[in-house]
Amino acid sequence: MTRSERLFQEAQKYIPGGVNSPVRAFGSVGMTPRFIVSAKGAYLTDADGNRYLDYIGSWGPMILGHAHPMVLEKVEEACRRGLSFGAATEAEVAMAELICSMVPSVEMVRMVNSGTEAVMSAVRAARGYTGRNKIIKFEGCYHGHSDAMLVRAGSGVMTAGVPDSSGVPDGCTQDTLLAVYNDVSSVEKLFDVWGKEIAAVILEPVGANMGVVPPKEGFLQRLRALCTENKSVLIFDEVITGFRLARAGAQEYFGIEADLTTYGKIIGGGMPVGAYGGKREIMEVIAPVGNVYQAGTLSGNPVAMAAGYAQLTYLNEHPEVYGKLQKLGALLYGGMRSMCRESGLPYQVNDVGSLGCMFFASAPVTDYTSAKSSDTDAFGGYFRHMLENGIYLAPSQFEAMFLSAAHSEEDIRRTLDIMHRYFEKS
C-alpha cells in the first residue's frame, strides 16, 4: 500500500470523502488521490516521493510557480509580526490600492477569504445597489458554492432556477435565472421577460469550470450592452482569469469593462483570499458606508495580504510574465491541437492564454451541453497515463490546465511527448 493510499484510507474516516474539496478525491478518474507533501516551481512531490509536473497550480493561484522565494520571504516576515489582528492594517490599504491601480474598472475593493465569498458578496451588492432580485448566470459557469449559485435550469425561460444541490431551499434559487453560454439570444429572452427585475448578469469571461470554453466573438460585448441598457450590473467572475490573462485580467484581454469583478486564487498567492470590487457608486452600498452587510474575521488577514501583495506586485512589475504564459500556452495547446490533427484524433482543444484543455468530444465545444458530450471514460484513461508518467492534470474533464511562469518549454515538449505516446498506443 502506498502512503497516499494509506493516508486516503485514514482521511476518509474523518473528512467527507477524505478531502476538503470534492474534486481533489479523484472520483471521476477512479484513482487514489496523491497526497502532496511539497512543491517547488512547476513541480509537486507526493507522500511516496513521486515528482509531478503540475498543471493545476492549486487550481490557479500558483501563477509564478510554487514556493516562489520572494513570496515566501514576505510571508515569513509578516508571520513574525503576528498572524492576525482583526483590525485595520497598512497591508490592506496597499493591497486595495494595488488592485485598483491594476484594473481600471475597479475603483474600490473589499477583501474576503474565498472566491465563493467574493461572488456571494458581489451578488448581494448588485441586489442592494439596484433594489432588484433576479440574477442571470450561465449553465456550466461555476461561481463557488453559495446557495443562489448552485442552480440548474428550470423548465423554461419563465421558470426560476431549481437547486442543483441538496440542502438548498427552492427559495434560494428562485431568483437565479439560467442562460446558455455563448448564446446571446438566451440572455435577450430573459431580459425580455424579466427586464427591470434583473439585478445582475454574472459569468466567467472565459468558461473554465466546464473545461475551457472561450467567449464567442461579440458575446461579452452584447452582455455589456444589455446590462447598460437595462441598468443591470455586469459581474465578471475573474477568480480564475483575474491577473492571469493579463495584468487587468479578462477585461484587458477582451477590452470590456465590468461593473463588478470577483477575484480569488492569484490574489492570495496561495493563501486564502478573495475579493470583490468595481464602481465606487456600487461598492459604497457595502457596510459600514451603505446598508448591504458583509463581514469576515480574517478578511484582509496580514499574512494572506503579504502573499497576495508580493505575487501581484511581481506580476505588476514584470509584465513579461504574460508574454511568457501566452507563448507557453501557444506551444502546449497548439501542440495538442496539431497532435489531434496529425493522429486523426476527433478531440477538441480549447485554450485562452495559459488556460486550456482537451475535450474528448468529436464536435466543437462552445457551451455546457457540448462540453457534457465529452467521453469522460476516455478522459480517465488519458488522465491515468499522464499521471503515471509524472504529469499532474486536473482529475476531471471539466476543469482547466493552468500554466505558470515556472513551466519551461522543455516541460511542455516532454508533456506533449508523453501525451503523444498515449494516443499512439491507445
Tell me which stretch binds ligand KE4 (CB under 6 A): 83-91, 109-117, 178-186, 286-294: 109-117
Tell me which stretch binds ligand KE4 (CB under 6 A): 111-119, 248-256, 308-316, 355-363: 111-119
Q: At what angle do helices 219-230 and 184-194 cross, to 10 degrees?
A: 10
Q: What is the 3-state secondary structure (H, E, C) of 235-303?
A: EEECCCCCCCCCCCHHHHHHCCCCCEEEECHHHHECECCEEEEECHHHHCCECCCCCECCCCCCCCCHH
Q: How far is the CB of 398 from ligand KE4 (least distance, A)?
A: 8
> Which is closer to ligand KE4, CB of 23 or CB of 345?
23
Residues 81-100 that bind ligand KE4 (CB under 6 A): none
Q: How far is the CB of 195 from ligand KE4 (least distance, A)?
A: 27
Round to the nearest angstrom and report the end-to-end CA distance of the chain. 28
If residue 332 lies in a helix (H) or strand (E), which one and from where to where? helix 320-343
Cell for 15?
473528512
Single out the residue of 390, 146, 404, 133 nearest to residue 265, CA to CA. Answer: 404
**Residue 265 catalytic?**
yes
Residues 345-384 that bind ligand KE4 (CB under 6 A): none
Q: How far is the CB of 116 from ligand KE4 (least distance, A)?
A: 3
Residues 241-280 that bind ligand KE4 (CB under 6 A): 264, 274
d(CA 37, CA 400): 23
Among 92, 237, 367, 411, indicate the residue that binds ligand KE4 (CB under 6 A).
237
**Residue 237 catalytic?**
yes
> Cα angle at 114 between 108 and 115, to 5 degrees?
75
> Catalytic one among 43, 55, 142, 347?
142
Answer whether 365's CB lies under 8 Å from 211's CB: yes
> Catalytic one among 54, 175, 237, 351?
237
Q: At what angle do helices 409-425 and 376-388 cross, to 10 degrees?
A: 120
> Which is closer to ligand KE4, CB of 128 or CB of 242?
242
Cell for 411?
516541460
SS3 185: helix
Among 13, 21, 69, 297, indicate the residue that binds ligand KE4 (CB under 6 A).
21
Among 4, 89, 105, 114, indicate the residue that binds ligand KE4 (CB under 6 A).
114
Q: Find where cell 484594473 sits.
A: 103
SS3 40: strand
Q: How far is the CB of 325 from ligand KE4 (least distance, A)?
A: 18
> Which is closer to ligand KE4, CB of 17 or CB of 154?
17
> Which is closer to ligand KE4, CB of 184 or CB of 240?
240
Single out the residue of 125, 114, 81, 145 nearest to residue 298, CA to CA. Answer: 114
Binding residues with ligand KE4: total (CB under 6 A): 18
> Which is closer to ligand KE4, CB of 23 or CB of 378?
23
Check binding of 18 to ligand KE4 (CB under 6 A): no
Among 23, 47, 330, 418, indicate the residue that binds ligand KE4 (CB under 6 A).
23
- Which residues is 115 bridged to in the sheet? none
Among 54, 259, 367, 399, indicate the residue that binds ligand KE4 (CB under 6 A).
399
**Residue 375 catalytic?**
no
For residue 86, which amino acid is it?
G
Asked if the peptide bond before residue 104 counts as cis, ω within 30 degrees of 0, the response is no
Give the x-and-dash track for 44-63 against ligand KE4 (CB under 6 A).
Answer: ---------------x----
Check binding of 119 to ligand KE4 (CB under 6 A): yes
Cell for 319?
509584465
Among 144, 211, 269, 278, indicate the residue that binds ligand KE4 (CB under 6 A).
144
Check binding of 209 to ligand KE4 (CB under 6 A): yes
- Which residues is 237 bridged to in the sheet? 262
Residues at the site binding ligand KE4, with contacts judged by CB under 6 A:
21, 23, 59, 114-116, 119, 142-144, 204, 209, 237, 239-240, 264, 274, 399
Q: Which residues are catalytic?
A: 142, 237, 265
